[in-house]
Structure 1
Amino acid sequence: MSKCFADGLPAGQLDRAPFKFQHQLLQHPALSIEGLSESLPQLPADRIMYSKGLSDLAINFDRAHIEHGNGLGLRETIETIRTSSSYIAVRDPEDHPAFRGLYEDLKSEVGALLREGGKSRTIHQPRMWLFIASPDAVTPFHFDRYSNVLMQIRGSKQVAVFPNFNPEIVPTEVCESYMDRKDSQSLWREELDRHAVKFDFSPGDALHIPYIAGHYVKNGAEDVSISLSFFFQTDETLRWTDAMRFNHRWRKWIRPLGLSPSPVGGSAALDAAKARMLPLATGVGRLMGRARRLAAA
């Protein structure tokens, strides 16, 4: 019997479209505000990022904790989260005993769904993130390097999800650069909202956000929001990632010839070939870098 999700999920839709379903984690003690107040201060400081309650969809989400500090310590931020207009993001909390069993349960159930839907032989790079936010705070528009299951524990929100592999929303070169571990950048423009599929979200709801699908979140006004994300890669998304990394590196060398690599996602065979050739692109880049340094010397 499932510990985390309701039965009957459309496993075949994973990474094809966003869809809402139900989770079963509302009573998990680690996810209450009291449990979080106890466990989060025991995690390494670099796992926890907190900022002012964000209100602009164009803010760079990855740098919000650096550029929009709230002037409070972590414990005070948690204790005053209802009134202090703050936002807390916690990465990889599963190292704390309070979350370890939950992490293993999610890993097992999502892995089984991937196999059921024929998406992957196994789950890759599973990660947990926690988000705690004051009423009316927003999560700015961004996209992730992973597929995602987002679960609402407390409060309400509206989640807007955008089609992946659409260069009108996330330009191809920007996506490739980010997948090759370059810095993110703000992409939000009001006209993008016509592409959004919007989901009203309350405690017990879960949402699948496909790999690299842009999204933003607007929290409700009535309560603190607590949500849990479970990120993962599949056999297919790993191929897409390596193919995009190949494109990003190879583009530099063929652009002077007036050439450009074809976007990832159009041909499974070509994506697989690019993923296999990533070490070649990496080697060429190192050789070219060494040649430039020698020439400069």
Structure 2
Amino acid sequence: MSLVQTSDVCGSGLDRPKDALLAQAQGHLHAVDPAQFSSHRISPIRHDFDRHPLMQLPRLAQLAHDLMPSRQCRFIRPGSSQTSEFFHTPKTPDGQDIDAVFARIEEPGSWVALYNVQTDPHYAAFLDEVMASARPLIEPSQPGLFRVAGFIFISAPPSVTPFHIDRENNFWLQIRGRKIMTVFDHRDRAVVSAREVEEFIVHGSLAKVRLDPALRDHGRDFDVGPGDGVYFPATSPHMTRTTTDWVRPGDGVSISIGVVFYTAVTRHLARVHQCNRVLRQLGLQPSFPGASAWRDALKAPLGRVIAASRVHWRNHVAPPGAY
């Protein structure tokens, strides 16, 4: 019997309406040091969403089964390292179906990610619950929160998630097992150049976003277990690895979720990136977003026009939240 078939054990609320599911769980998230928390920098957090029925492995196996036809289950190349290109595919490496993947999920090196889980109404309700708890940390400095999404990573050590950046702010929560999350300051241009950040924001390309091993010590390591987490702002480079020292019989799977979102601030910065991209193509060296408020204020409206014109005249599909 596959894990999918046994998922009713942890999914007893599946037929309940969204409001009832939220009332049932009532999870909580908070900053480890509220006085030091800022939505503009890396901060450790704590939560109790690891206890939520939707975050248990049998229920996640059912979710993966449901998402596989829409190509929302992703897999990385076997043998990937933290310095590899973050290349992922909707096809399993060995051609097996998703039920077989979960039947062997504790085998060393197993890795599967569930993308955009908010397309499932039960998980959309779960993300609403997380953000209801997180919103007071964000909205004082980053109002206009929109496009909340969820990305769940399930792996067995030893395994990694390669170095990359995201467009969204991220509440990254460890649910089960242990993992080492390494996060770099989003303002550190030695780690990822301005040109490569712009390339990602405008075109969605991570092809040249790679970790220079000589800069490894620029990152901050978080050795996290269930109930731990990390908040980091948009475009913060990050990567993960799992080690085998915590593994015990019946406890050999790491589960984490990134609850990501945009705000009026991330949209404003994306517009500045759009403008900077054009200025750089003209041979100029524009200041990075955030370096000069008045320059950003001039660039942002131009960036919005540039992005809109690319969509209209070039059939360009703008990345989410990019303008």
Structure-1 separation of matches of 2:182 and 2:143:
30
Unaligned runs of 5+ in 2: 1-22, 315-323
Distance 1:47 1:35, change over 3 A: same
Matched, 1:178 2:200: yes
Which of 227, 233, 236 aligns to 2:262? It is 233
Equivalence map 1:1-297=2 (5 Å): 3-6=27-30, 10=34, 13-43=37-67, 44-52=69-77, 54-61=79-86, 63-65=87-89, 69-83=93-107, 85-115=109-139, 118-185=140-207, 186-221=209-244, 222=247, 223-252=252-281, 254-255=282-283, 259-282=284-307
Distance 1:237 1:142, change over 3 A: same
Distance 1:220 1:140, change over 3 A: same
- 2:15 aligned partner: none
Count of aligned positions:
282
1:53–1:137 Cα contact (<8 Å) kept: no
Structure-1 separation of matches of 2:35 and 2:82:
31
Cα offset, 1:285, TM superposition: 6.5
Unaligned runs of 5+ in 1: 290-297
Calculate the TM-score normalised by the size of structure 1.
0.85
Cα offset, 1:12, TM superposition: 6.4
Structure-1 separation of matches of 2:96 and 2:50:
28
1:51–1:86 Cα contact (<8 Å) kept: no
Structure-1 separation of matches of 2:90 and 2:119:
24
Cα offset, 1:7, TM superposition: 6.8
When the two chains are superposed, the root-mean-square deviation of aligned CA atoms in Å is 2.6
Distance 1:68 1:75, change over 3 A: closer
1:77–1:84 Cα contact (<8 Å) kept: no
Cα offset, 1:244, TM superposition: 0.7
Partner secondary structure for residue 40 of structure 2 = coil
Structure-1 separation of matches of 2:263 and 2:309:
28
Q: Which amino acid aligns with 2:201?
A: M
Q: Deviations over 1:8-54 (max 9, x none)?
A: 76386334321212111122111111111122211243211124555
Q: Percent identity?
A: 23
